[in-house]
């Protein structure tokens, strides 16, 4: 358990681990997004803070009664005799009249004098007369009785003016090595320009506020990333459980357990599809391996059987030759018997080699050149040969006319002869009964060869078409059979695109059915 836990921790911090890559890349994307958000916040908040500060200074300027600006009673900048009459905290105040005269009302923090712009810039601002101006009220209105009342700002004209109050005119300048926020506010009275009020303040306190906000945001972002690191890790681990399961099963399959399959219902569509694909591939591989094993086993049996079949006649011929060499060649009777036996064994050997070559040819080029013709005519043509082979056995032909299909005439004759010869071998010479039928069936032609022999047991039926397979070894030896006839027949029928099957019960004979497409 501890080893598994330590392995999990080790894989978590391994750079090549998918889990660690997903986690760190996700956190990297989150960090980049947070940094971008912080930078955008700094840029936008800087503009907002500057605008708000300018609006605050503008409001302080607008709060000063206008009649004050008609008779400011101040000295020019170069006359420091009079003390300033106006004071705004942390700001410098100056007034520029319509003639461009510049008056300092109060210095900024640290006795920093308000910066002075080009005179033309002040005059340009005076030319921008506001569309809406608050009606003048010098502190009182006279009512009908001659008394004065305080100004009423709830009148519709006053409310509309405050709602349509223009934004502050401000700019950031560098004066004397210190960056300052400069607010310019023109002053009008009944449409007549009085001058421009200039308020300047240092931007360093505003930037310190921005830096504090940015540091606070970065600190909170760092805490959020740490929480994400702790919270996102188990989520990724749980998400990757199906993939880890597939890795474990793949290791078991790699160890040789090809029967193992991937789970296909893990709740993740992509992983489930991948598992289904892998399972299909494993099934095909397993089927291929099984087919390969079966092919190797068949090849092994084929070589063993072929060697045995070839050895038997060669042994007989070798034995007869030894007898002849010992002196039997001088005795005509023994010489004749030996030569006759060697001739029979050579015929058997020749037939076996011919069958093996035919099977090899069918395996190599299973397709045949088929021509359309009447199969019933082929059987009628073979009837004398079939009756000669049947001997005293009864032969019935139930052939329907005009049985048209595509076939190779020589190969189909061999199919009929193989099936008929098999029936002859397994029926009694005197009481045997063989029936050949030909009829239409399912868009094709059905050929059947039936006999009344001893039949085939159910245990032998699945292998009757295997090469060198013999049910009764002694009987096939007697008639020279090597167990290749039915295998050749099946190969030929398959090459025609047809099917072959057998029905049999012990003691009731058997019937071979061949179907060929029309």
Indicate the domain borders of the chain: 64-134+152-202, 261-365, 370-517
Q: Residue 512's pLDDT band (boundaries 50, 70, 90)?
A: very high
Topology annotation, domain 64-134+152-202 = Beta-Lactamase (3.30.450)
Which CATH number is 370-517 given? 3.30.565.10
Q: Residue 510's pLDDT band (boundaries 50, 70, 90)?
A: very high
Q: What's the token pair of residue 169?
A: 């005119």
Nearest to 307 by CA among 315, 296, 295: 315
Q: Residue 209's pLDDT band (boundaries 50, 70, 90)?
A: confident
User: 7-30 in b/e burial notation, b at 16+ Cβ within 10 A?
Assistant: eeeeeeeeeebebbebbeeeeeeb
**Residue 495 or residue 351, greater confidence:** 495
User: 52-67 in b/e burial notation, b at 16+ Cβ within 10 A?
Assistant: ebbeebbebbeeeebe
Quote the pLDDT of residue 90: 79
Q: Are 93 and 106 in contact (CB under 8 A)?
A: yes
Arithmetic mean of pLDDT, 405-427: 90
Q: Cα 110 from chain centroid?
A: 69
Arithmetic mean of pLDDT, 370-396: 91
Quote the pLDDT of residue 1: 45
DSSP assignment of 204-272: HHHHHHHHHHHHHHHHHHHHHHHHHHHHHHHHHHHHTHHHHHHHHHHHHHHTT-TT----S-SS-HHHH
Q: What's the token pair of residue 424?
A: 């002859």
Q: What percent of the chain has pLDDT over 90?
A: 13
**Residue 503 or residue 131, greater confidence:** 503
Say which CATH architecture domain 261-365 belongs to. Answer: Orthogonal Bundle (1.10)
């Amino acid at each position: 358990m501890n080893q598994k836990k330590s392995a999990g921790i080790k894989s978590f911090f391994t750079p090549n681990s998918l889990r660690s890559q997903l986690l760190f890349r996700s956190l990297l994307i989150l960090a980049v997004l947070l940094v971008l958000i912080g930078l955008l916040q700094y840029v936008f908040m800087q503009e907002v803070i500057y605008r708000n500060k300018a609006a605050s200074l503008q409001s302080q300027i607008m709060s000063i009664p206008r009649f004050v600006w008609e008779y400011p009673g101040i000295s020019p900048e170069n006359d420091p005799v009079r003390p300033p009459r106006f004071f705004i905290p942390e700001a410098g105040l100056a007034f520029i009249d319509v003639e461009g005269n510049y008056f300092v009302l109060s210095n900024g923090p640290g006795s920093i004098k308000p910066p002075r712009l080009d005179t033309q810039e002040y005059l340009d601002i005076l030319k921008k007369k506001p569309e809406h101006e608050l009606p003048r009220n010098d502190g009182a209105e006279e009512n009908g009785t001659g008394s004065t009342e305080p100004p009423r700002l709830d009148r519709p004209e006053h409310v509309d003016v405050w709602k349509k109050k223009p934004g502050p005119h401000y700019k950031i300048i560098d004066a004397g090595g210190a960056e300052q926020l400069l607010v310019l506010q023109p002053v009008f009275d009944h449409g007549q320009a009085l001058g421009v009020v200039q308020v300047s303040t240092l931007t360093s306190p505003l930037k310190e506020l921005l830096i504090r906000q940015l540091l606070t945001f970065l600190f909170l972002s760092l805490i959020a990333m740490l929480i994400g690191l702790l919270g996102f890790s188990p989520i990724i681990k749980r998400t990757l459980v199906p993939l880890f399961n597939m890795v474990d099963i793949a290791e078991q399959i790699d160890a040789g357990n090809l029967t193992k399959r991937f789970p296909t219902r893990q709740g993740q569509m992509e992983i489930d599809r991948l598992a289904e694909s892998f399972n299909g591939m494993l099934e095909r591989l397993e089927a291929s391996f099984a087919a390969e094993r079966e092919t190797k086993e068949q090849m092994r049996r084929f070589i063993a059987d072929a060697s045995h079949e070839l050895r038997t006649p060669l042994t007989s011929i070798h034995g007869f030759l030894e007898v002849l060499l010992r002196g039997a060649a001088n005795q005509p009777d023994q010489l004749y018997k030996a030569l006759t036996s060697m001739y029979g064994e050579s015929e058997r050997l020749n037939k076996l080699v011919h069958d093996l070559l035919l099977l090899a040819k069918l395996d190599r080029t299973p397709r045949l050149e088929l021509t359309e013709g009447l199969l019933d005519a082929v059987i009628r043509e073979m009837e004398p040969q079939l009756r000669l082979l049947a001997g005293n056995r009864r032969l019935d032909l139930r052939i329907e006319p005009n049985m048209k299909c595509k076939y190779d005439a020589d190969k189909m004759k061999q199919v009929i002869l193989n099936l008929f010869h098999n029936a002859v071998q397994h029926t009694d010479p005197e009481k045997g009964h063989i029936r050949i039928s030909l009829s239409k069936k399912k868009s094709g032609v059905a050929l059947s060869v039936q006999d009344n022999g001893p039949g085939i047991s159910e245990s032998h039926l699945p292998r009757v078409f295997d090469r060198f397979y013999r049910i009764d070894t002694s009987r096939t030896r007697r008639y020279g059979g090597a167990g290749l006839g039915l295998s050749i027949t099946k190969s030929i029928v398959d090459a025609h695109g047809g099917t072959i099957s057998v029905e049999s019960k012990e003691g009731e004979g058997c019937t071979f059915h061949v179907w060929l497409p029309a």
